[in-house]
Structure 1
């Protein structure tokens, strides 16, 4: 969107800014240092339910979490029973989704033993543990999963295997709530009432997402230009594997409410205790 000038008629300056984790994003939003942001789907719901009138504009990411293992026999999440899994998420949506999935599998009798979760500081810590042989399996968000596999291949002294993605396991476990709206674009509270601009942003993002999915190589080169620490090849793989499909939040409301309702049973704090009001679903 920055490269194409899609918002030039509506803003004097459009700037890309990278945040490192959801806690940092919360601070940036609270200080109103950013107008729009990509965000895990629970964060804007949490903020709205706490009285901050943010708005979710769309959902574009429906499958971004992958299981990577040193063991070729670990292909699914059920194969992890009794084994250790590196988890670089704390109090974030991926942790909520993972716990919800593993709990449901145990209750259904699909897993005889609990998965031993080993927390890491962040994804880079999990990658280091895997590459040094100190970790057996990890749950990673893209493009981190593809980056780990790419680095292992270049290192040449170990084999790592891509297992099931969480969306696939979720669809098997919760067939009546099969779609998993994981991330999208939100408008900060000082922008939420600007419906016309929100519509322009949502439409421009949808066009950009379609272009990116159809031109994975060029999109990966663009990502590398803005985030040089991400090599082109694993980013291209991540784009090709990720279900990138932009829908307005209003269109995705049934899937969002199904997810919010499910995770609220065990993690009500992750969405602020209840479903967001109708005006939350933008643009």
Structure 2
């Protein structure tokens, strides 16, 4: 029957039918092309997974926050977020659970993980000392002046504790200073503000926060006595640089060398911006960490050497520190120096 209908059509009717068929085919082709385009777009999205950056509420993390706000990694990830951690133990858990991609960390932690078989990589060192001695006594100008006194410290097993122990030993006051351990730096700040302690060693920005809050409250004068980095230079003239903290790649990101290089380069650029624009960096950081006042953040940037250097470039300084740790605190780095491939990016 359909053949009979076709034969009885006029020439004009036939042409209209042909045009309809062509239109249908064209539409099918267009639909197929659109599907391919959408599939390609979806595939591209899948190759740009979100990235989680992490760090403590300290100067080493400030460039990470600028990287997020400036979109420094927009060509590498569709979404970049920041996760705050409170202590190295918490960071170890986050890394073990695959919850962070790149994180700020004390220089010993990635070495420890690498020596335990985790394929992490240290990308850079950006903070070269951020610990300060704060005192109520204007005569206490150096760590050596603490003999016979009580010193508040929240550090017990991590890198700052090791550095403090080494400086006190080098100044010949180890055993002559009573270390009063606090739960964390916030507790040390509270005790100093309440007049229940006279001396404390604090990391930035907590040292600056203590001085700012004390001034605002009209308390008895407190003094920023000596940075631990300065004491380190005096105590160890053969290895004066103190590579304290930097950026590391997690075990799942370390094999991606191109991405790790991009992250390290972006971090370095943001670190330069923070150093050159301390007020703007402080205001940006305050938006992410509102518990810290802008003035204290700005002061912490101004007194901290924020100088991002690739780990491979500063490997001699790192190995000098690792050798000292391995000699007296071997458990802090896993007992030996990391392999050459550890030093990134």
Which TM-score applies when normalising by structure 1? 0.97
Larger helix fraction of residues: 2
Pair 14,112 (structure 1): closer, same or farther in 2 beyond 3 Å = closer
Partner of residue 19, structure 1: 85
List runs of 5+ in structure 2 lacking aligned partners: 1-66
CA contact (8 A) 2:143 2:171 kept: no
Match of 1:220 among 282, 299, 316: 282
* Number of residue-to-residue matches in the alignment: 279
Higher RCO structure (Cα 8 Å, ≥6 apart): 1
SS at match of 1:225: helix
Partner of residue 76, structure 1: 142
* Cα distance, 1:157 vs structure 2: 2.6
Q: What CA distance in whole angstroms lies between the structure 2 residues aligned with 1:265 and 1:177? A: 15
Partner of residue 68, structure 2: 2
Match of 1:260 among 306, 322, 330: 322
List runs of 5+ in structure 1 lacking aligned partners: none
**What are the equivalent positions in structure 2 for 1:41-190 lying under 5 Å apart?**
41-106=107-172, 111=173, 114-190=176-252
Q: What CA distance in whole angstroms lies between the structure 2 residues aligned with 1:163 and 1:32? A: 40
Q: What CA distance in whole angstroms lies between the structure 2 residues aligned with 1:121 and 1:36? A: 27
Partner of residue 313, structure 2: 251
Q: What CA distance in whole angstroms lies between the structure 2 residues aligned with 1:137 and 1:245? A: 28
Output one character per residue of 1:23-70: Cα deviation in whole Å (capped at 9) or x when no partner: 111100110100000000000000000111100000000020000011
* Cα distance, 1:82 vs structure 2: 1.2
Pair 131,194 (structure 1): closer, same or farther in 2 beyond 3 Å = same
2:301 aligned with 1:239, yes or no? yes
Runs of 4+ in 1 over 6 A off after TM superposition: none
Q: What CA distance in whole angstroms lies between the structure 1 residues aligned with 2:68 and 2:250? A: 19
Output one character per residue of 1:124-148: Cα deviation in whole Å (capped at 9) or x when no partner: 0000110111111000000000000
Quote the RMSD (CA, aligned, Å): 0.9
Partner of residue 254, structure 2: 192
* Cα distance, 1:112 vs structure 2: 8.7
Output one character per residue of 1:67-90: Cα deviation in whole Å (capped at 9) or x when no partner: 001111111000011111001112
Partner of residue 100, structure 2: 34
SS at match of 1:177: coil
CA contact (8 A) 1:85 1:137 kept: yes
